[in-house]
Amino acid sequence: MDEQTTTAPTVPRAAVVLVGAGAAVVVTAGLKAAAGLVGPVMLALVLTLAVTPLGAWARRHGWPSPLATLLIIVAAYGLVLVLAVGLAYSLVRLAGVLPTYADDADELVRRAQEQLGRLGLEERPTGVALDRIDLGRLMDAVTGLLSTTLGVLGNLFFLVTLLFFLAAESAAWSRGPGLREAQPALADTLDRFTAATRTYLVVCAGFGAAVAVLDGVALWLLGIPLPWAWALLSFVTNFVPNIGFVIGLVPPAVLGLLEDGWRGLLAVVLVYALLNVVIQTFIQPRFVGDAVDLGTAVTFLSVAFWTFVLGPLGALLAVPMTLLVKALLVDPDPRARVASTLLSASRR
């Protein structure tokens, strides 16, 4: 009897793509619905990964394991405390400074109306538009941002508790053989994710500190109020790829406009263009690209995507979240080499 060979039915590629796209939409909707939980959990994980090398250093130098774990916890709490207090202080100071510029803002709007009238534009539409540029609206926006920040601080108990457990268990992550024995490829990709995330944080922190000092000195020389508050904001926004400097530019530029008119605005924009654009747009991406193996276009799109999913916190966590997705879904699968190549195609 002749041997008969059977071939397994193949699923059409279109069906695979459609099913995968549908699953991606469902997962994205679930992450967006749980953004209040996913965001703090990922932030706690990133902070833990950032300070875990301190525990390894302490154990190499003979520290008892409990003291090494305590060092990790204290370092993680220190990062959260410094950033939270610094940003809250900056927002409070800004909310206190803005009312002093109420008359300057009204005068600026009046001059703009006169200038537009000289240019032949209809006074009524332009007047209505400029009247909407009200300092009270800006104050409401600042108050809302401050309330949001304080709301996050009010929920800080969850983040602090989660940090405690993650830091306490971080020492066992590298010693656990279960995952490496069961899924060696996945274990390797998670190790690379950890190393890439730490390198990314170090690179961004280094460049962010340099940019923050330069911005603070420049703003102080220009006479912009609260220069070191905006330097801190510049440091934090440096963790937002590609567009972070634009976010950090807005408050000092507005204060420059209110303080010294259009000359003050142009001076602040020029300083940020010389310092931040050169460093953060042309120099830093090369180091970040080498650290995370992601293309520049991918990092830019990741900011838009994760901000949509997780809100403002997603902008700060865009690269670590993308690295985690890549480590879980792309790198362990040999069939996903095309996707892996596309993610880093801009650098190859």
Greatest mean pLDDT range, 58-62, 102-106, 163-167, 285-289: 58-62
Q: 202-259, pLDDT tens digit by residue?
A: 888 888 888 889 999 999 998 888 888 888 888 888 888 777 778 788 888 888 887 7
Q: What was the pLDDT predicted at 217? A: 92
Those residues with Cβ within 8 angstroms of residue 55's Cβ, 6 or more apart along the chain or in another chain: 68, 69, 71, 72, 170, 171
Percent of all residues in the chain with a pLDDT value above 70, rounded to a whole number: 68
| DSSP string across 107-144 | HHHHHHHHHHHHTT--HHHHHHHHHT--HHHHHHHHHH
Which residue has better confidence, 150 or 52? 52
C-alpha span between 2 and 182 (Å, rounded): 41
What are the residue boundaries of the structural domains of the chain, listed by start?
Answer: 35-175, 181-348
Residue 207, CA distances (Å) to 77, 138, 250, 288, 305 in order: 23, 30, 20, 10, 24
Q: What was the pLDDT predicted at 105? A: 60
Residue 117, CA distances (Å) to 103, 113, 128, 262 in order: 21, 6, 13, 18
Is the model's pLDDT at 195 over the cut of 50?
A: yes
Q: Look at 5-14, 135-144, 150-159, 302-311 and tell me which has the smallest mean pLDDT.
A: 135-144
Q: 54-92, pLDDT tens digit by residue?
A: 888 888 888 887 888 888 888 888 887 887 777 777 777
Which of the 8 DSSP states describes residue 274? I
Residue 89, CA distances (Å) to 82, 93, 96 in order: 10, 6, 11
The pLDDT mean for the chain works out to: 75
Q: Look at 6-10, 122-126, 154-158 and tell me which has the smallest mean pLDDT.
A: 122-126
First to last CA, the chain: 55
Angle between helices 156-173 and 135-154 (to 10 degrees): 50
